[in-house]
Structure 1
Amino acid sequence: MQTAPAGGAGIDRTEIRAAIARHLDITPDAVAGADDLIQLGLDSIRTMKLAGAWRKRGIAVNFALLAAHPTVDAWYALLNGADPENLSLDGALPGVVDSAALPNLVDLPDGVRPGPVDSAAGHAAPTDDTAASEPAIVPDDGTPFALAPMQHAYWIGRSDAQELGGVAAHLYVEFDGADVYPERLEQAVGQLLSRHPMLRTRFLPDGTQQTLDRPGRAVFGVTDLREVPAVEAQRRLEELRGARTHQRMAVEDGQVIDIALTRLADGRTRLHLDVDMLAADAMSYRILITDLARLYHGEQLPPQDYTFRQYLAEHRHDSTATQQPDTVAGAGQGASAIADERTRDRAWWQDRLSELPGAPELPLAQHISEPNRTIRLHRWLSPQAKAQVFDAAHARGITPAMALASVFAETIGGWSAQRRFLLNLPLFHREPVHPQVDGVVGDFTSSVLLEVDVTEPATVADRARALQQRLHEAGAHSAYSGLEVLRDLGRHRGEPVLAPIVYTSALNLGELFPDTVTATFGDPVWIISQGPQVLLDAQITEVRGGLLLNWDIRESAFPAGVVDAMFARYIEAIERLGGQPSEFAEAGSSESGGAQPRETEQVSPVVPADAAGRARFTGGAGWQAEAGVRIPVEQAATRARVNATGGPVSGGLLHTGFFANAATNPSAPAVLWEPTGQLTYGELAADALAVAGALREAGVTPGDSVAVQLPKGPDQIVAVLGVLAAGAVYVPIGFDQPAARRAEILGTAGALAVLTVGGARIPDVRAIDLAEARTHREPLARPLFGDPENIAYVLFTSGSTGKPKGVEVSHRAAMNTIDDLNERFALGPADRALGLSALEFDLSVYDIFGLLAVGGAVVTVDEAQRTDPAVWVELVRRHQISMLNCVPSLLDMLLTAAPSTESQPLASLRAVILGGDWVDVALPARLAAVAPNSRFAGLGGATETAIHSTICEVVDARVPVEWTAVPYGTPLRNVQCRVVGPAGNDCPDWVSGELWIGGDGVATGYRGDPERTADRFVTHEGLRWYRTGDLARYLPDGGLEFLGRADHQVKIRGYRVELGEVESALRAVPGVRHAVAAVVGTAAPKLVALVVPTPGTAIDVDTVLAATAELVPVYMVPTRLELLAELPLTSNAKPDRKAIRAVLDKGEGTDEFVAPRTDLERALAAVIAEVLVTEQIGVTDDFFALGGDSVLATTAVARIREWLDAPDTIVADLFTARTVEGLAARMSQREAESGDTGRLAAVAALYLEVAAMTDDEILAQS
């Protein structure tokens, strides 16, 4: 692309240097051709002003190119037509794309800039560079006019029907002063409203605004507390504050400003000022408060005839949200060029829609107690500390705005489940179209979306440079605003898209509260802002020469402690940039209202002075440190405590305890089965040694692998003990395993033999009949005991490639788990365990060896009994079973089968431990009802970490209300756990990451797969870890919460969805017993789920979906539910996802077009179809899934109100109903409540009749 002067116009170096020098208040001689202008102090406001002036001379200026090449030499070339692709980079920092500090971080495209405002007067300070041609002033005739895009977003968002809605966008400030006189202030308020039409503008239900002669509500009041005792006066002040900090003013009546004066004892006053941002952006706030102060003092202000309405009319191409008629004439001369630029920028964003990430996924509270309450966290950065940060940034070619923005992005990324996300950055757009534009009050705000990626490691400086470069790219295409991009994203994804994390920088725009204001009304002592559909709004504002760093937060949306930890990290990181933590005043919270802090003593660092004599600070070791969030000290201490699990290390092997018990107590029962089967320790030992002898004869030597493929029952236990006694490794294979998979397992395991039933034929491997092996004539004289680090067993689990993977587990790893659980639950010879788990499932390892190690007995079942819970109940009674170790679904089956007519039918149970799947929070109470003396624990882990790794014991069946499943808990003995982010960092509390498990329980690796072993088993800080692939997060008490498999993450309409979270939300709905979610379809994937109701409970699909929508975002609510009486299970008693998927797939393709059935539905469908530019829509089609957005919703409702004579219909109705069917029902219900039934149907019929007529027919009847 070539940037050439229009009409041959050019500019020389002398002019360029002179213009720059004028803005930097230095002499032209101080600006050399190769000097870096950023380091000289040039920021984006000044750069944009220069660009604006040059554009008016007919010189085409690309702002991003000026920012990318900040030298006089480069600018001279660009302004005189040089091709940017061939431009020499002399004068620019090598390899760095530089930008200037922006009001809201973003380098804007040509023609976009905030207006310069004199800090004392609050009015434009016109210069030669900002002169503009002056369009004619057109009086306001009082007709409604369109909303600007940000106004429209605020107007839509303040509705209770909106996600994160229900609040106004407003800024509330209290000034603590003295001797402010009510009469003079009231007069000044009246003059202020007369001067600024937007302060008396009302917002109409059809999405337009209208200027009034005066507001329809009172906007000024006085409270006299001069004679009230101090304590009572303070209480009344807090009461007044409480009424205003979270109010939604009656903007429909023209109340957009609320000014109140409280008179206090000793001449003190408190001014309360609340402004709705529908009428005034941040710059306008400063204008109006400055004007108010000057009017209070009786000053004659210069005329302000140019209005926000006229500005919008002249910029309809990008400044109005809805296509409403407007009578104001006089479009700006550059409209065509700007429209072209907007078209280009729209195309640029459209090309990127499918690649754009979503909003940061911060930890959110499951239950929000006060959804609309906002608090403020704040910190004041002193002038000296501010200068140090700015100097250090400039020295690295980074603008201060971007340095601070990068710290914010890194902080958000540290608490986000996804490290690639979008931030919403407001901009202040005031085109220099009129000399009075910088004195106008209105909402000129636009926005740009900044893509942040903090996935890969980088230094702080490099991260800031990279973010700066992305910001240039996005800012160069900001003629198409971030709001419009979000709407396009919503249409692309079929769902409204929010950007609830906002970062606003007002650097270099001057003091928010000029001296004129503070001298008149006092210092601001309380500041808070709110915004609809915003969770966190961060701001940087210049106050008293320093910086005020604010976070306005919807506190209850986050788990306790999260935002405090985030803000503390944010401040700490900024401190490291400046290298002077002592320069920061104390942080505060909403209790101090963001007030200006007291002065702190300043100590100047000893650094060289710059040419102007000011000390320049270039240090701050934090710049070269690795970017990323370090978990807070207190969280690190908690994790160190829960991971301090060191304890005795068993030197024994899996079979050591059993053979010891067989020697000392051979007559004790070891294995029991129905109806009267029993093997004593002595008998079992003899059988095992006989099998070992048979294996030795077959050529098996210590370390060899022997497969075991036998039906469930005592034979399995004999076989594995025999293999271990021979010093070999046992490899269990399911008895019903297909031959092909069995062959694959045998090949990978390198098995020399298979212990199986008589007559089995297994190709390529010697099959040994267990019955014959048990009677082998030459049993081993004694069992072999090798090194505990030797492999004990290889368990094959399903692999992501479709091939089974063999997990090698050592004796030491397995015994670490067994020893902990045996000691923890004080198991001994009197205990009996019910062994329900399949041999090829790792829970069977504890079923067998846990009890045999302490002299207890294992009660086993056969293949048929494995799925018959009535048999299990009888076994518990008959054998007085005391220990149960199983997956949750088996306990659920057992409890369901327990007779409800008996008291405590499972009373012998004293320890129940569950693992292998989600543990339902209802199970502890259900168990307590039938086994009141039993302990209950949920355990977490993986086959690769020796059965179990963590434990969470539920005491007295007390389950916290916020639990949706029993958490993983804390590590077992000699086990450590980490939750790790993509860059290998530890995640803070509540933040999801990959669960790493380390310590003595970690498996050796994968049999025959060194590549997979190296990938999943890693060493960090001297400890060996297994990367589980599970998602988990730490809770504040040091416990772990399992969130699901990382490979169960799916993308739905551009959103990352964890199926486990969807399932957890469904299970939290009363009456839902089990839930499994899946994604079906390829062209348009849909989230669906299968639900199993609690026995005896009838559940309604719509009710379940509605309840789920209260727990998770709308995109995580399944579009369809299938109900089943029982959950399909695998052989290991886990949910059979393949079978479930088959059920869900069968239900696809059943969506049908549902035609309108009534005149009202037909009329609504016709109106909405026309707005969406589509042929037809069904009454159950989702408006947003069809491409609707907030602007189209506003347009549709405006037409419905007018064409169907339905003035009570509001935009919130369409957002809530989402379908023609739902909207018709809401309108009909409202009509029925009014008692005027039948009118809607009649009007709809008339509309349809007219709509069907030809133009000639209409003309004939007119």
Structure 2
Amino acid sequence: MLDLATLHEAIAAAVPDRECLVWRDSRMTWREVSERTRRLANVLHGNGLGLREEDRRASEPWESPHDHLALYLHNGPEYLEGLLGAHKARVAPFNVNYRYVDDELVHLFGDARPAAVMYHARFAPVIGRVVERLGRRPLLLQVADESGEGLLPGALDYEEALAKASPDPLHDVRPEPGDLHILYTGGTTGMPKGVLWRIGDLMIGPLGMRRRDGSPLTDLEEAVEKAVRSDHRVLIGPPLMHGAGTWSSLGGWCGGACVVFPERVDGLDAADLMATAERERVTRMPLVGDAFARPIVEVLESREHDLGSLRSFVNSAAAISPDVKRRLLDLLPHARIVDIVGSSESGFQVARSGSSARTFVPTPGTAVLSADRSRRLKPGEDEMGWLAKGGDAIPLGYLGDPEKTASTFLTVDGERLVVPGDRARLLADGTVEVHGREATTINTGGEKVFAEEVENVLRGLPGVADALVVGRPSERWGTEIVAVVRPAPSGAAPTDEELREGCAAHLARYKIPKAFVRTALDLRLPNGKADYATARSLVDGAG
């Protein structure tokens, strides 16, 4: 198996002067990125961080023998340098949601136990307060930004620390494929949990290190040869604090691609994103559902862009409604959209391509388990089961949580599988019909309704920009379905009756919302995922 640090160094040795990372006026070559991440590794190692000798025999799947580096940053070069530099020092990096406030950060840091924190200067005040509450002081690396915030007491200025560090590799530290990479879940179905991935598993899983026949690519020389031939330039719009952004970036690097960031990195600016795509001749872009695709379509419809180099969009974490997908492909007929369903715990499980496809093709290792999670379903068994993932590339477990690890990572017929919580059917032709996360299932009048199914229909109706579906108590139904709708900015907003009629053409009557709440608020988190907390508060407020 391969590890990220060794592969990146090998590619840098093969193509030292090729562009590796582009943001604004900064253009770094593979040699420059390699040198800067070595310097960061030396900073971490010089402060005593790495693989803890006393814990290196940790054998339980919820244990980590590494020191941990928190990345509390907006997108940018420093985030990727933090990920790669940590692995070169055998420190396990983990993502921090930059929207978290003090109490949430205290909980997260209490769970993750960071030995070091890299953060943008704008977050210095909250980091200062949180560190005081933790009762212990990690190494603080402050990255300068436009905020003008001064350096926290005892913190190191990131650029100054790198300038003073050696650019040479750590001679007594050898990264291994078994080193851990921690990805914290978004917490949409409970408190965030740190998913423990071995970097070697992450590379042949979500980072895409596989041959065309699906077999793992684990030979260093072969991987470098493939990277040298690459002409890919990957534009990263989703935040790196979530899997979609991180996996697209690191997967690009593992394949020899140049990673490009748009000018704005503290939120989505679709005009800036597409101007960057045009200027930098990018070949691939990750999307996160309608939250990304719809504003991109509106920008492309407003003026012509030269995007002949853009060959593919990879969509994950949220659905793109059929009308938006059709409009995007009409604008860029030479490109294709690949929809992927997966999770922090499983990586990518199923995929589909094209504007009309309704079902998904399983990726290697994917299974659909029976409702009682005791066996694999066979194609055509008419049972609503659980989407699962096994094979050679799944995580170990959840950091510090043996109970949650045991309930999510199962052994079925001698095979270890992860079951993140998505419901699915395995159809007779071997494709998979995905119904959505069990946590967003609404039991109404004795029937189960998957919120995502209703949302997809609503988002495809005229005059609807976005929609989320939640349940609220009902004397008649136990729980009734309520839709929170954000009308399109132009044109007349559809009436309740028009929305019901639109739903009735695609859904059984019991799935049609009993009420509609309208809002001008954004119903998406920064990563494009559904903001159900906001939707529920709007429904509660509507009475």
TM range (shorter): 0.7 to 0.9
Greater helix content: 1
User: Are residues 1:714 and 2:74 paired?
Assistant: no
Correspondence list, 1:752-771, <5 A: 752-757=115-120, 761=128, 762-763=131-132, 764-766=136-138, 767-769=140-142, 770-771=158-159
Give, in angstroms, the shift of residue 696 of structure 1.
0.7
Question: Aligned with 1:1008: secondary structure?
Answer: coil
2:35 maps to: 686
What is the one-letter code of the residue matched to 1:731?
F
- Is contact 1:799–1:805 with CA below 8 Å preserved after alignment? no
Change in CA separation of 1:886 and 1:822 when aligned onto 2, cut-off 3 Å: farther
Query: 1:915 maps to which residue?
Result: 316
1:991-1031 residue CA offsets vs partner (Å, 9 max, x unmatched): 32111111123111000001110111011223210112111
Structure 2 CA distance for aligned equivalents of residues 683 and 917 of structure 1: 35
For the pair 1:977 / 2:367, whether they are aligned, the reply is yes
> Does the 8 A contact of 1:905 with 1:931 survive in 2?
no
Q: How does 1:1196-1235 map to 2 (within 5 A)?
A: none
Shift of 1:821: 7.0
Question: Could you tell me the TM-score, scaled by structure 1's length?
Answer: 0.37
How many residue pairs get aligned? The number is 484
User: How far off is 1:798 after superposition?
Assistant: 0.9
- Aligned mates of 1:1037, 1:785 — CA distance in 2: 46
Q: Is the 8 A contact 1:757 1:771 kept in 2?
A: no
The alignment status of 1:1144 with 2:533, answered yes or no, reads: no
1:698 maps to what in 2? 47
> Secondary structure in 2 aligned to 1:1138?
helix
Q: Indicate whether 1:793 and 2:182 are aligned.
A: yes
Q: Deviations over 1:213-232 (max 9, x none)?
A: xxxxxxxxxxxxxxxxxxxx
Does structure 1 residue 729 correspond to structure 2 residue 82? no
Q: Residue 927 of structure 1 is aligned with which of 328, 341, 349?
A: 328
1:813-824 → structure 2 map (5 Å cutoff): 813-818=201-206, 820=208
User: Is 1:1060 aligned with 2:455?
Assistant: no
Q: Deviations over 1:1069-1127 (max 9, x none)?
A: 45545321112246564321023455645433212202323433322221212344564
Q: Which residue of 2 aligns with 1:1132?
A: 527
| CA distances 1:295-339 after superposition (whole Å, capped 9, x unpaired) | xxxxxxxxxxxxxxxxxxxxxxxxxxxxxxxxxxxxxxxxxxxxx
What is the CA-CA distance between 1:799 and the residue it aligns to? 6.5
Q: Structure 1 residues 817 and 919 mapped into 2: Cα distance closer, same or farther (>3 Å)? A: farther
* Structure 1 residue 714, shift from structure 2 partner: 1.2
1:1027 matched residue in structure 2: 419
Q: Distance in 2 between matches of 1:983 and 1:934?
A: 39
Instruction: Report Cα offsets for 1:429-459 as digits up to 9, x if no partner.
Output: xxxxxxxxxxxxxxxxxxxxxxxxxxxxxxx
Is 1:878 the counterpart of 2:283? The answer is no
Answer yes or no: is the 8 Å Cα contact 1:705–1:730 preserved in 2: yes
The alpha-carbon distance between structure 1 residues 1135 and 857, as it changes in their structure 2 partners (threshold 3 A), is: same
* Partner in structure 2 of residue 670 of structure 1: 20
Question: What runs of 5+ residues in structure 2 fail to find an aligned partner?
Answer: 52-65, 143-157, 215-225
Determine the structure 1 residue equivalent to 2:220. Answer: none
- Which amino acid letter does the alignment assign opposite residue 995 of structure 1? L
Is the CA contact (8 Å cut-off) linking 1:1087 and 1:1116 kept in structure 2? Answer: yes
Residue of 323, 339, 344 corresponding to 1:943: 344
1:859 aligns with 2:260: yes
Measured in 2, the distance between the counterparts of 1:734 and 1:983 equals 32
Is 2:321–2:456's contact at 8 Å kept on the other side of the alignment? no
> Are the counterparts in 2 of residues 712 and 838 from structure 1 also a CA contact under 8 Å?
yes
- Assess if the C-alpha contact under 8 Å between 1:692 and 1:779 holds in 2: no
AA aligned opposite 1:707: A
User: Aligned partners of 1:823 and 1:926: how far apart in 2?
Assistant: 32
Q: Is 1:898 paired with 2:300? A: yes
Which residue identity lines up with residue 240 of structure 2 in the other structure? Answer: L
Give the Cα separation in 1 of the matches to 2:164 and 2:425.
Answer: 53
Q: Which among 804, 809, 822 is matched to residue 192 of structure 2?
A: 804
Q: What amino acid does structure 1 have at the position aligned with 2:83?
A: V
1:750 aligns with 2:113: yes
Q: Distance in 1 between matches of 2:353 and 2:445?
A: 39
1-side partners of 2:460 and 2:292: how far apart? Answer: 20
TM-score by length of structure 2 reads 0.82
SS at match of 2:322: coil
2:22–2:261 Cα contact (<8 Å) kept: yes
Is residue 2:475 matched to residue 1:1074? Answer: no
CA RMSD of aligned residues (A): 2.6
How far apart are 1:1146 and its partner, in Å? 2.6
Partner of 1:773: 161
**Alignment partner of 1:1015 out of 399, 402, 407:** 407
Higher RCO by CA contacts (8 Å cutoff, separation 6 or greater)? 2
- Corresponding residue SS for 2:205: helix
**Sequence identity (%):** 23
Aligned counterparts of 2:404 and 2:266: Cα–Cα separation in 1 = 37
2:483 paired with 1:1089: yes
Query: Which structure is higher in strand share?
Result: 2
Residues 734 and 765 (structure 1 numbering): CA distance in 2 closer, same or farther, change over 3 Å? farther
DSSP-derived class of the 1:1012 partner: helix
Is the 2:366–2:387 contact (alpha carbons within 8 Å) kept by the matching residues of 1?
A: no
CA, structure 1 residues 931+694, in 2 after alignment: closer, same or farther (shift >3 Å)? same
CA contact (8 A) 2:40 2:162 kept: yes
Cα deviation 1:1134-1181 (Å, max 9, x = unaligned): 121111222222322xxxxxxxxxxxxxxxxxxxxxxxxxxxxxxxxx
Q: 1:944 aligns to what SS in structure 2?
A: coil
Which secondary structure state, in structure 2, belongs to the residue aligned with residue 836 of structure 1? coil
In the alignment, the residues of structure 2 paired with residue 983 and residue 1000 of structure 1 have an alpha-carbon distance, to the nearest angstrom, of 20
Contact 1:1066–1:1108 under 8 Å retained in 2: yes
Please name the residue that 1:652 is paired with: 2
Native 8 Å contact 1:710 1:757 kept in 2: yes
2:528 partner amino acid? A
**Alpha-carbon distance between aligned partners in 2 of 1:991 and 1:1097, rounded to the nearest angstrom:** 42
Task: Answer yes or no: is the 8 Å Cα contact 2:87–2:175 preserved in 1.
Answer: no
State the shift of 1:943 in Å: 0.3
The structure-2 alpha-carbon separation of the partners of 1:750 and 1:822, relative to structure 1 and needing over 3 Å to count, comes to: same
Q: Distance in 1 between matches of 2:279 and 2:20?
A: 16
Contact 1:710 1:735 in 2 (8 A): yes
What is the distance in 1 between the residues matched to 2:340 and 2:261? 22
**C-alpha distance in 1, partners of 2:428/2:490?**
38
CA distance in 1, matches of 2:106, 2:249: 26
1:993–1:919 CA distance, 2 compared to 1 (3 A) = farther
Query: What residue is the counterpart of 2:154 in the other structure?
Result: none
Shift of 1:725: 0.9
- Determine the C-alpha separation between the residues in 2 that align with 1:995 and 1:818: 17
Cα deviation, residue 729, structure 1: 0.7
Instruction: Could you tell me which runs of 5 or more consecutive residues in structure 1 were left unpaired when the two chains were aligned.
Output: 1-650, 1149-1262
Is 1:997 the counterpart of 2:378? The answer is no
Separation (CA, whole Å) in 2 of partners of 1:991 and 1:942 = 22
Q: Give 3-state SS (helix, strand or coil) of 2:422's partner.
A: strand
Deviation at 1:891, TM superposition (A): 2.4
Equivalent pair of 1:713/1:862 in contact (CA under 8 Å): no
Alignment check: 8 A CA contact 2:207 2:247 kept: no
Check conservation: 1:711, 1:863, Cα contact below 8 A.
Answer: no
